[in-house]
Amino acid sequence: MSHGQFYKADELVELIHHNFGGFHPGARAVHANGRIHAGTFTATVEAKSVSRAAHFQGTPIPVTSRFSGGSGDPGASAGGTIAMASRFYLPDGTVTDLIAINLPAFPARIPDDIIGLLSVAQPDPTTGKPDLAKVQAFLADHPAAGRVVQLLQVRPAPVSFAQVSYRPLHAFRFVNAAGEGCWALSLGAGGWQCRSVGRGNVATTARFPIHRARESFAAGSGGIQARPPTRAGGRSGGRPFGVLA
């Protein structure tokens, strides 16, 4: 059930300020500290067979990408949760955004769930830490959130913005020029598949690798590249949708 984009927004923002670095006038509630890179995105040949989107047609598209830490304190260093937000500047003058984060999944399905999780995770005024019993009780009632928390506890800490897999935690449906649609389904470390669904059948139409973002510090570059992961021996895991440079 949809309650609209501002459903319990005030309550949610207040909890975010309380849990993620406090209130800082003029700064974002979260991901306040970031760095921006400018470059171009060029789609591969495979991309336009899946989507008719303007930036998937092979023409180099100007793009800016912002890497940020999760805290709402603009003076805080990046911690375990970091993000990559990219804006594509399309030929017709419009823009489209792709927001990605290094979480394996989001811990809540609806606004009430994230509000509940943030509420029990608030630091106790006496100890400065969350009440573990309250957190465990909430996760017992929300097993999907509990699974995400388990994954977060064992993931490696980020070494840099460059050595992280970023995931847009949304459902994506692509439609090509012929009007054929497919859904992007995650394969975990193996990348993802674009699948068409009809009459109870699921047919794979394409398979693509997960992208890694790599900061380029070559002289005169200052941009970023999105590259597929490599397998043993340095061979590519497959063709990506495109390259950011």
Q: What is the pTM of this model?
A: 0.73
pLDDT score for 39:
93
The tens digit of pLDDT for each residue in 71-99 reads: 888 888 888 889 999 999 999 999 999 99
| Active-site residue, selected from the candidate residues 3, 18, 24, 31 | 31
At residue 132, φ and ψ (nearest 5 deg) are -60, -35
How would you classify residue 119: left for phi > 0, otherwise alpha for psi between -120 and 50, otherwise beta? Answer: alpha
- Residue 107 tokens read as 């811990």
Using 50, 70 and 90 to split pLDDT, how confident is the model at 223? very low
Q: Is 17 a catalytic residue?
A: no
- Residue 162 tokens read as 């460059």
C-alpha 227: how far from chain center: 16
| Residue 88 CB coordination number (10 Å) | 21
Nearest-angstrom CA–CA distance, 238 and 134: 45
Question: Which residue has tokens 């509000």?
Answer: 115
At residue 182, φ and ψ (nearest 5 deg) are -155, 155
Nearest-angstrom CA–CA distance, 83 and 35: 11
Q: Domain 31-104+158-244: which CATH class?
A: mainly beta
The tens digit of pLDDT for each residue in 133-173 reads: 999 999 999 999 999 989 888 888 888 888 888 888 877 88
Average pLDDT score over residue span 16-22: 88
- CA contacts within 13 A on the Cβ side of 74: 8
